[in-house]
Chain A
């Protein structure tokens, strides 16, 4: 078997294009994934005009809030192009140099401050949009909408907090400053206590009855205003998200991206190599000569799978080495990486053997390998909930019978120390290796036939 393995490696070496592709492909994928992970999404260019005077502060009631740093927050999410006035902002948008312009008017803070007065005015910001590129325009729209939602929430929470302080003062009493003068507020609680104490001093009659009614009102008002405080707080954020992980343990995004890239590379290299080299034995007419006692059909399948695993192992490790330039990987887990690549390679190799034995011709095999591997790989990345329940069940079945998904799970588990265990995907891969090995062996019965 080792001589056949050596022969296949010699043939691979004699095909410069294949050999170069096997090295270039993983390096290219590693670079692409690395850049994608390390750079993050591109920021849309937005013209930004801030007309708000630098020293204005949002104040709620008597309290001045710290400077919001609105400009900095916005420019962290979009690429800001500073403009001097509205006309310049419009020109930038019209010329297409920016996708949108965001204008914060001079009276924005005054209007925000008016919200806690008896004459509130709605604060407004102006957004000018260039919808030349609908995708980017939507991105800008969503980011500005998110920013405004966050600003609205922050202001509402401040107002509610200040309003709650007034309510507390009304209920419990205390000192309050108006125009620099301290005013003592009695409060409903103390009012009710004083009135209750006064009541026995009055003679029975209409005056005493009225006093009792006032005492009762003060008590009821105090109790109900106590309830009002949490209700008002809820108004600022009516729905609160409570996140609880009940199933699965997703790896960090960059680890998942690396797992996908590594498994995709492994899948294409192993499936194409095993299926192609098996079909080549037939195209070279060597299969009948080999299986006339020199090597058994099963032995030939094992040899091809070993070839795929060996090359896949090298190519995948090369790619992980390249990704190390962008994302630190835990090389102490290399034993698990090798185990995941070995198990994944074996199952993918067995599947490649079955494809090669079924399709028999190198060109047909290459086409079939792409037609099977690519869609299954894409289907394996479809999350639950993204499509209808019945359709997702079908996707689950399809992805469970091809080794890509369990190989991806094994790779993720090997790369992510905090992730789920590697045992279940390894068992899944072992079952698929046996099943596809059997299919490949059966398909070899008619392999040499014309």
Chain B
């Protein structure tokens, strides 16, 4: 499947079945370099399945994915790290497993990037949820991926930690990394996502900027067009039968 010349990632006609249930039904989308794409939708929409397929953890039953040669960084919803090791030991371990020529240098760079330099020798289990998530993201970035996939990265974080997280992620996108994140927080998606991919019951309902989604609401559910974004989004889903 041909994509646009600037697309860092393309997915076409992705389908996934779990038993008799269709988790994804012909989902297609693409993302450009440095783009921040928010994947939103109700529970069971297929957000985690889509990200898992893009990450290569789950094999699709149909469709295809084209990924950049630099690989894809994947940051699961729950921190995937060793809580009895220190921050630095975790980064050093994964840098070694990634095959870095200078694993200590790579780990030190990620410590700096994630703002965890002062906590490098702390056992991860003793860190706050927000800081654990930062370590989780730093590990995902060790491979210097061109595309970064984040599955509900802000779950469990307090507002201050969320702000720091999005500042960090926005900085990565500003540096050219394509960031695709799923979230239940519609306001967060509107605020940080340059594009929104709306999924419901495994289908792709919308793919575009937040402003276009609001326009779509105005035409399909005008009574909710001037309400807050979350209410407008719920009305849109309702109008589409979800």
**Hey, which bits of chain A sit against chain B, CB under 8 A?**
3-4, 7, 10-11, 14-15, 284-286, 288-290, 292-295, 448
Contact = CB atoms under 8 A, between A and B. Distances in A.
Contact of A289 (B84, B85, B139): B139
Nearest to A291: B57
8 contacts: A7-B82, A14-B85, A285-B78, A289-B74, A289-B76, A292-B55, A292-B56, A292-B57
A448 B98 CA distance: 21
A4 to B, nearest CB: 7
Interface stretch (B3-11, B89-97, B202-210, B230-238): B89-97
Contacts of A290: 97
B173 interface: no
B85 A10 contact: yes
Contacts of B155: none
Contacts of B93: 3-4, 7
A295 B79 contact: no
Nearest to B98: A294
A3 B85 CA distance: 13
Nearest to A285: B80
Contacts of B139: 289
B79 A285 contact: yes
Contacts of B79: 285
A285 B97 contact: no
B97 A4 contact: yes
B129 to A, nearest CB: 14
Contacts, number: 51
Interface of B: 55-57, 74, 76, 78-85, 89, 93-94, 96-98, 123, 139
A284 B80 contact: yes
Nearest to B18: A449
Contact of A11 (B55, B57, B85, B94): B85
Nearest to B56: A292
B87 to A, nearest CB: 14
Contacts of B82: 7, 11, 284, 286
B97 A3 contact: yes
Contacts of A284: 80-83
Given A292-B57, A448-B57, A14 B97 contact: no
A419 B98 CA distance: 50
A288 B76 CA distance: 9
A286 B84 contact: no
A413 to B, nearest CB: 39
Nearest to B83: A284
Nearest to A7: B93
B219 to A, nearest CB: 39
A11 B84 contact: yes
Nearest to A6: B93
Contacts of A448: 57
A292 B74 contact: yes
Contacts of B85: 7, 10-11, 14
Nearest to A8: B82
Contacts of A295: 97
A433 to B, nearest CB: 26
A448 B56 CA distance: 13
A15 B84 contact: yes
Contact of B76 (A3, A10, A285): A285
Nearest to B140: A289
A11 B93 CA distance: 12
Contacts of A288: 57, 74, 76, 80
